[in-house]
Structure formats: C-alpha cells, structure tokens
Amino acid sequence: QVQVVESGGGLVQAGGSLRLSCTTSGLTFVDYTMGWFRQAPGKEREAISYISGRAARTYYADSVTGRFTISRDNAKNTLYLQMNSLKPEDTAMYFCAARIPRGTNWGRLSTADFNYWGQGTQVTVSS
C-alpha cells in the first residue's frame, strides 16, 4: 500500500521560510516524478513544483520561481520544498504527490497526472 505523508507546515510571518518534507512508502521512490501542489480556500489545487525521478528536470510555477526550491533524497524516499520569502498569498494547504512518468507533457502537469497523494500540510503566512 502506497503512503505519502507531508510534514513541515506551520504559521510563519511574511518574509520568513519553511521547509516541507514528504516521505513515501510502498513505491520505488526513484521511479516516480514527485510534485508539490497547493490549494487555498475557494481555489483549485495548483501545481507549484515537481521534479523528475533522478532530479534531472524540475518545474516551478511562475508564482514561486526564485523563492521555492524543490529537491529529493532518493536514499531516504523523501521530497523537500524549501520556501523562502513567503508571502500571505502562499497561504494554502500543501500536498505532495507521486506520478508514474509517462508522456512528454513536462511543464503542463496537473492533478490528474499524479497517481498518489498525501493528506496535506497547512502553511499560513501572516502579514
């Protein structure tokens, strides 16, 4: 059974930093593209960053480029998201997801393209 578990969310002031972690079990981690999504109240879940299995490729949404960094440690089956210069508009539930690589739509992946999801971790940025 595949499990995906996020951690590291919390309350932070604008301009601060947080690092999210995502651990997985039940899958061969290096074989999966891993991604971070977020969903604010009343909004759709959006992809903010994802990374290929051996970290050869990454994607960042325009809204987080230059502030967030995605990384992975395949030896630890763990995905990270370093979030710097946080803004109140970054407030959302953040989800980790795993995707079996297929197709050539890198840069246009959405929720439908990911196979396994965590329960999310809340990030709240105060102004």
Which pLDDT value is given to residue 57?
95
Q: What is the greatest pairwise CA distance in the chain?
A: 41
The average pLDDT across 109-126 equals 97
Q: What is the pLDDT of residues 81-114, one digit of tens each?
A: 999 999 999 999 999 999 998 877 898 999 999 9
Q: What is the pLDDT of residues 52-79, one digit of tens each?
A: 999 999 999 999 999 999 999 999 999 9
The per-residue b/e assignment along 28-53, b for 16 or more CB within 10 angstroms, e otherwise, is: ebeebbbbbbbeeeeeebebbbbbbb
Closest CA to 126 of 90, 84, 83, 94: 90
- Spell out where the chain has E strands: 3-7, 10-13, 18-25, 33-39, 46-51, 58-60, 68-73, 78-83, 92-99, 116-117, 121-126
